[in-house]
A and B are shown apart, each in its own frame.
Chain A
Amino acid sequence: MMRLNLVLLLAVLASAVYLVNVQYESRRVFTELDRARSEARRLETEYERLQVEKRGQATPARVEKLAREKLQMRQATPAITTYVTYSAPAGEDVAAGVAP
């Protein structure tokens, strides 16, 4: 009887220590998860910021300025545009050109 009690006591102690350990471990892992989540959120906003920046670099105002000044381009007019219509299955495109 005495021996059985001793074994049970040890088992209870072991389980208690194990419980503490598991609790500790779970909190550590949770902290890690939380950190990863906030990192994800940070990266998301960073992505958004970069998207806006990219868009800011490609506004019509800037594109037009660069095209005009750096690339010496000019505005397309119907006079210098050929419109091409796609005629589906025949395989051959028919160009409905507008003569310049």
Chain B
Amino acid sequence: MSRSIQYTSSPLLASRTPVWRSKFVVGAIALAFFGLAARAAYIQVVANDFFQRQGVVRFERTLDLPANRGRILDRNGLILASSVPAPSIWAIPEDVDLDKAQLQRLAKMLDMPVSDLAKKLRDEDKTFVWIKRQVDAGIAKQIAEMNLKGIYQRKEYKREYPEGESAVHVVGFTNVEDNGQEGVELTFNKDLAGKSGSRRVIKDRLGRVVEDVGDQIPPVEGRDLQLSIDSKVQFFAYQKLREAVVENKAQAGSVVVLDVLTGEVLALANYPSYSPAKRSNLTGAQLRNRALTDTFEPGSTMKPFSIALALEKGLVKPESIIQTAPGKITISGSTITDAHPHGALTVNEVIQKSSNVGTVKLAMQMQPHEMWEMFSQVGLGQKPQVPFPGVVSGRLRAYKTWRPIEQATMSYGYGLSASLFQLARAYSVFARDGSLVPVTLLKTAQQVEGVKVFEPRHAREVLHMLYLAAGPGGTAPKAQTMGYSVGGKTGTAHKQEGKGYAAKKYRGFFVGVAPIDKPRIVVAVMIDEPSNGKYFGGDVAAPVFSETVQQTLRMLGVQPDMAVRPQIVANAVEESF
């Protein structure tokens, strides 16, 4: 009995707990709470960046707001280039699981061989493969409807060029990334492209946008560009040029149509050309915008300028007689000849018959620096102020290096070079009473002031000579066109090859003005290496001029200034070069 223990009276319990222990526990718990509170405050108030960033990463997204590329319009607001949606198809090969029928159907829709498609999808290591870029919107929709696993689409745009090959040298094209590569698309790429914007949004679990966050940066839409080109004039000019090049079995050809009142380029076409939609087998010959990038010796088309300078310096009057017999002249040992010897000619007839000797006789009375100044004033040897890739300046040597024979040959267009575009622009001085027009590729509403080169009286006199040259007895009766009076000058130049001139290779060209009384347009045509028997500019280029003038003036609403009667074309073409 005595061994039993009275638990209630355990000696341990009997001993008094010291007070500091309970206080210590309370203190420790309080400290823990305080620690938690401090940590919470630290996380939520002081150092909240990290967690906020983590949150943002999980539900906020930045959406790109793409800017639409601006359209390129012609002077009447018709579309020359515009962007249309063209989704690109891509795949994750690993996820793709197509049966044979599906594969064939897909290949057929994408217009590619089944083997190619299968090859693209076979590479399972890759996580991303373009299957085809920029497919038609309709086809993309069909593919989306097939609902294939592992096949996705990306929204992209491609450029459409309704005018196709006729305007491609002016308009140019863009690459698959929507960057301009040629022509206006390249020069004005910055304006056309615009600037894409962005917006921050909160997306929910299903990927729907539920809230905007912060300010959005609106996209700057690409600017629409209105060119001076008239797509109808452009088309007709191109069509006539193509016919002429094919008919004459020529290498190439170019045509430029300028509005002399405003300096606008109404048409600028080259052949051979290419379709901007099918660019897989492009050659340099097709790509070249010859009218602006190819220079050649302008030949006889320079004579009117030499004559105009002679009039300006008071050396002659249009009716003055110049003896060109016996059809040749010797300058410091070299002999210059006329293709057809003429006797005594008036200055008018020198242009009309295109006499080298007559021109040279006048030119030798002038100072080299006078000729040089005049040539540069009409824009030779200087880059035309058109914003275009690859514009060339041609060649006009400093007058101090001219030898007498060179001064003589330059007066009739050899020893200097120019592009067809420069030539067309230079002729605007005769169409505008002696002032040179500044040219533009963009639409301008009002008439422009030119730079005065010749006295109006002298420009008029030369214009009359050009009229005679395109008339009966001139070198280019084929330039005449029904209803409108025209004037112009032919040129036929031996092509340069290496250091000398190629024996049987020519360029035929024609630059002219119409209508004569109130000039409205300058048209320049160049046919490169015609090889079907005819090669004189009056034979190969003048007919293109005639038809282009006819169509252009009709479309500009210019009334015919001549009574209309059947035009009889003189049979024999006399010409020299």
Interface residues of chain A, those whose CB is within 8 Å of chain B, are 27, 30-31, 34, 45-46, 48-49, 51-52, 55-56, 59-61, 64, 75-79, 81, 83, 96, 98-100
Contact A78 B83 (CB under 8 A): no
Quick one: CB contact mask for B207-224 with A, threshold 8 Å, 1 for yes? 011111000000000000
| Docked CA distance A46–B554 (Å) | 36
Contact B235 A78 (CB under 8 A): no
| Docked CA distance A45–B86 (Å) | 11
Contact A56 B482 (CB under 8 A): no
Q: Which residues from chain A contact B186 at a C-beta distance below 8 Å?
A: none
| Docked CA distance A84–B82 (Å) | 37
Which residue from A31, A51, A96, A99 sits with its C-beta under 8 Å from B210? A31
Q: Which residues from chain A contact B209 at a C-beta distance below 8 Å?
A: 30-31, 34
Quick one: CB contact mask for B36-58 with A, threshold 8 Å, 1 for yes? 00000000000000000000000
Nearest opposing residue in chain B for A32, CB measure: B208
Nearest opposing residue in chain A for B81, CB measure: A52
| Docked CA distance A14–B208 (Å) | 28
Contact A99 B78 (CB under 8 A): no
Contact B162 A78 (CB under 8 A): no
Contact A52 B162 (CB under 8 A): yes
B220 to chain A, nearest CB (A): 16
Contact B483 A98 (CB under 8 A): yes
B553 to chain A, nearest CB (A): 9
Contact A98 B162 (CB under 8 A): no
A47 to chain B, nearest CB (A): 11
A10 to chain B, nearest CB (A): 29
Q: Contacts A49-B85, A49-B137, A79-B482 given; indicate if A56 touches B211 (C-beta within 8 A).
A: no
B164 at the interface (CB under 8 A from A): yes
Interface residues of chain B, those whose CB is within 8 Å of chain A, are 68, 78-79, 82-85, 137, 160, 162-164, 166, 204, 208-212, 231-232, 235-236, 239, 482-484, 550-551, 554, 559-560, 563-564
Q: Which residues from chain A contact B235 at a C-beta distance below 8 Å?
A: 59-61, 64
Contact A59 B163 (CB under 8 A): yes
Q: Which residues from chain B contact A49 at a C-beta distance below 8 Å?
A: 84-85, 137
**What are 14 A-B pairs with beta-carbon distances under 8 A?**
A27-B210, A31-B204, A31-B208, A45-B68, A46-B85, A56-B160, A61-B164, A77-B550, A78-B482, A78-B554, A78-B564, A79-B482, A98-B564, A100-B564
Q: Which residues from chain A contact B236 at a C-beta distance below 8 Å?
A: 60
Contact B85 A55 (CB under 8 A): no
Supplied contacts A59-B163, A78-B564, 10 more A-B pairs, CB within 8 Å: A30-B210, A34-B208, A52-B79, A52-B84, A52-B162, A55-B162, A61-B239, A79-B482, A83-B560, A99-B564
| Docked CA distance A15–B302 (Å) | 91
Contact A51 B483 (CB under 8 A): no
Contact B559 A83 (CB under 8 A): yes
Contact B211 A27 (CB under 8 A): yes
B439 to chain A, nearest CB (A): 24
Contact A77 B483 (CB under 8 A): yes
Q: Which residues from chain B contact A45 at a C-beta distance below 8 Å?
A: 68, 84-85
| Docked CA distance A64–B243 (Å) | 15
Which residue from B79, B239, B551, B560 sits with its C-beta under 8 Å from A98? B560
| Docked CA distance A51–B391 (Å) | 33
Q: Which residues from chain A contact B232 at a C-beta distance below 8 Å?
A: 60
Nearest opposing residue in chain A for B553, CB measure: A78
Contact A56 B162 (CB under 8 A): yes
Q: Which residues from chain B contact A51 at a C-beta distance below 8 Å?
A: 79, 82
Pick the 5 closest A-B CB pairs, nearest first.
Answer: A78-B483, A60-B235, A27-B210, A78-B560, A49-B84
| Docked CA distance A79–B84 (Å) | 43
Q: Contacts A30-B210, A55-B78, A56-B162 given; indicate if A79 touches B83 (C-beta within 8 A).
A: no
| Docked CA distance A96–B208 (Å) | 68
Contact A55 B79 (CB under 8 A): yes
Q: Which residues from chain B contact A79 at a C-beta distance below 8 Å?
A: 482-483, 564
B83 to chain A, nearest CB (A): 7
Which of A30, A52, A64, A83: most chain B Cβ within 10 A? A52
Which of B68, B208, B484: most chain A Cβ within 10 A? B208
Which residue from A31, A34, A59, A77 sits with its C-beta under 8 Å from B164? A59
| Docked CA distance A15–B91 (Å) | 50
A21 to chain B, nearest CB (A): 15
Q: Which residues from chain B contact A76 at a C-beta distance below 8 Å?
A: 554
Contact A52 B85 (CB under 8 A): no
Q: Which residues from chain B contact A81 at a C-beta distance below 8 Å?
A: 554, 560
Q: Which residues from chain A contact B83 at a C-beta distance below 8 Å?
A: 48
Q: Which residues from chain A contact B137 at a C-beta distance below 8 Å?
A: 49
Nearest opposing residue in chain B for A56, CB measure: B162
Q: Which residues from chain B contact A34 at a C-beta distance below 8 Å?
A: 208-209
Q: Which residues from chain B contact A64 at a C-beta distance below 8 Å?
A: 235
Which residue from A27, A61, A75 sits with its C-beta under 8 Å from B204? A27
Q: Which residues from chain B contact A98 at a C-beta distance below 8 Å?
A: 483, 559-560, 563-564
Q: Which residues from chain B contact A100 at a C-beta distance below 8 Å?
A: 564
A99 to chain B, nearest CB (A): 7
| Docked CA distance A91–B68 (Å) | 49
B1 to chain A, nearest CB (A): 60
Q: Which residues from chain A contact B79 at a C-beta distance below 8 Å?
A: 51-52, 55
B137 to chain A, nearest CB (A): 6
Q: Contacts A76-B554, A77-B550 given; indicate if A61 touches B166 (C-beta within 8 A).
A: yes
Q: Contacts A34-B209, A59-B163, A78-B482 given; indicate if A48 touches B82 (C-beta within 8 A).
A: yes
B66 to chain A, nearest CB (A): 10
| Docked CA distance A46–B83 (Å) | 11
Q: Which residues from chain B contact A99 at a C-beta distance below 8 Å?
A: 563-564
A16 to chain B, nearest CB (A): 20
| Docked CA distance A51–B211 (Å) | 34
| Docked CA distance A75–B550 (Å) | 11
Nearest opposing residue in chain A for B554, CB measure: A76
Q: Which residues from chain A contact B162 at a C-beta distance below 8 Å?
A: 52, 55-56, 59
Q: Which residues from chain B contact A27 at a C-beta distance below 8 Å?
A: 204, 210-211
